[in-house]
Structure 1
Amino acid sequence: MPPLALAAPVLSRQADPVRVATERLARALPARADAAVLVDLLEDDLREGLDALGDVEAHFAELLGTLRTGPLSPVSLVNAGDDLRVVERLDYLHDVVLQLRKRLAQAAAMARQVPSTRTR
Structure 2
Amino acid sequence: MTEDPQRNFRSVYYEKVGFRGVEEKKSLEILLKDDRLDIEKLCTFSQRFPLPSMYRTLVWKVLLGILPPHHESHTFVMKYRREQYKDVYHALQVIRFISESTPQVEVFLRIYQLESGKLPRNPSFPL
Which bracket does the TM-score occupy, shorter chain normalised?
A: under 0.3
Structure with max Cα Rg: 2
TM-score (norm 1): 0.25
